[in-house]
Amino acid sequence: MNLPFLFTAGVAAAAAFPLHPASPQSPLGSNMSSFPHHGLQDIVNASPLLSFHRDIVQIESITGNEHNVGEFITRFLEARDFTVVKQVIPSAANNGSSNRFNVYAYPSNNPNPQILLTSHIDTVPPFIPYSVSRVHDSGSDSTGHGTILISGRGSVDAKGSVASQVFAALETLEENPRSSIGLLFVVGEETGGDGMKHFSESTLNTSPPSFHTVIFGEPTELALVSGHKGILGFEVVAKGQAAHSGYPWLGRSAVSAVLPALSRVDRLGNIPDSEGGLPSSPKYGKTTVNIGKIDAGVATNVVPASARADVAVRLAQGTPDEARELIRQAVRDATDDDKDVWADFSTHAESYPPQDLDSDVDGFNVTTVNYGTDVPNLEIHDSEDAKVKRYLYGPGTIHVAHGEHEAITAKDLEDAVKGYRKLIEVAVARNQK
């Protein structure tokens, strides 16, 4: 199999989707300290991995606007002997647009990959331009990989995983061209997962599946994740009656009505199960509740006729249906069964229980995470005699993802390539037994 990636890493205008011009490159794993007199841009240019990561971070791909980065990745993979399927998301999910697509790729000689690496190419707003800087850490070598900080929206979540997965696949295929590897990069993960859901419902997701292992890419600080919490969203709604604020007794304040319910809901993660609280678990800890947004009234001199609060729950135990009933009961108890105050679950379609994942590969730190992923959006049709392995792993930390200082080190990206390669190697060996 022809793999020209070892000879490509040029710089180009991202919007034009150019292929990297051919030029001699140092090996991917070469120590950056061998470039002591070069600028940081030279170091990035000299690394195929860092160059590719730079190029996709430079392309703005806020959810709904993933087309350009998808085109770039498509051209990049096609130039490296991958067959690429652009899986267009139905226009109904795109508000009439047909420009969004998942990137599904496999080596030209292997249309039914047994190992699937997947991540997402959309980001949260706002777009933050790419930049690279040196971090001076007294505890590390100032010329090392760990001090080269790469910033920009998506540099961590999740273009760091995308880049590392691509190069883990390329390096594996260079050593063993017959490796059965596929790549799936989806749109829309940040706002409900329409890309992964479309793939899941498509004929590409066969039953039984061609793949025996799926490796999801998200920022996990290079740890192998044994599972993540579930999620449930809802609103607490109150109906009142408007009146002049000078004569509040002529109306009924929806804010006053909703406050006892919100106070109770806010504490549900800390209330024991025996007292009607949301359950905890030894693995995931407490269920957490966040009242993220409150909207009420029209003016300060008007008694508010309506109030609603948007709530997100991270489930540590149990099912969404079980949590819904506990929440409904909590609202009833807090308001003395006031019919004008209720929990409304119809505005939040997405919900799922905690997601247990595989973590049976030696050599990794193992952890759990509290954020959501595309894991529950991929329905896997396990056969009767075999269950698909699901892993979650990637570079960078969630603590800076979505923030104004989103950034990742060059060393994290390179270490992630090694980590993904190890997961691939174990999956290959397992299937050969």
- pTM for the complete prediction? 0.87
pLDDT of residue 136: 74
How far is residue 407's CA from residue 410's CA, in Å, rounded to a whole number? 10
How far is residue 74's CA from residue 323's CA, in Å, rounded to a whole number? 42
pLDDT of residue 407: 98
Which residues in the chain are classed under CATH 3.30.70.360? 230-351
pLDDT of residue 94: 54
**Mind listing the pLDDT tens digit for each residue in 189-211?**
999 999 999 999 999 999 999 99
Residues 6+ apart with CB under 8 A from 35: 42, 43, 46
pLDDT of residue 35: 41
Q: Is 306 helix (H, G, I), strand (E, B) or coil?
A: strand
Residue type present at position 84: V
Query: What is the torsional sign of CA 389, 390, 396, 398?
Result: negative
Q: Is 313 helix (H, G, I), strand (E, B) or coil?
A: strand
pLDDT of residue 261: 99
pLDDT of residue 15: 39
The CATH superfamily label for domain 4-227+356-432 reads Zn peptidases (3.40.630.10)
pLDDT of residue 92: 59
Residue numbers in the chain where pLDDT is lower than 50: 1-37, 95-96, 141, 143
The secondary structure of 92-152 as a DSSP string is GGGTT----EEEEEEETT-SS-SEEEEEE--BPSSP---EEEE---TTS-TTSGGGEEEES
CATH class as words, domain 230-351:
alpha beta
Q: Dump strand ranges (E) for 255-350.
A: 288-296, 306-315, 341-344
Which residues in the chain are classed under CATH 3.40.630.10? 4-227+356-432
- Reference 425, options 108, 169, 110; nearest CA is 169
Question: Which residues form the catalytic set?
Answer: 189
**Mind listing the pLDDT tens digit for each residue in 161-172?**
999 999 999 999
Indicate the helix (H) or strand (E) that contains 32.
Answer: none
Residues 6+ apart with CB under 8 A from 75: 17, 19
pLDDT of residue 37: 36
Q: Is 29 helix (H, G, I), strand (E, B) or coil?
A: coil
Do 304 and 254 meet the contact criterion of CB atoms below 8 Å apart? yes
The secondary structure of 250-270 as a DSSP string is GSB-HHHHHHHHHHHHHTTTT
Count of residues making up the chain:
433
pLDDT of residue 431: 79
**Mind listing the pLDDT tens digit for each residue in 353-401?**
999 999 999 999 999 999 999 999 999 988 777 899 999 999 999 999 9
Reading phi first (left if > 0) and then psi (alpha if -120 to 50, else beta), residue 15 is in alpha
How far is residue 15's CA from residue 68's CA, in Å, rounded to a whole number? 7
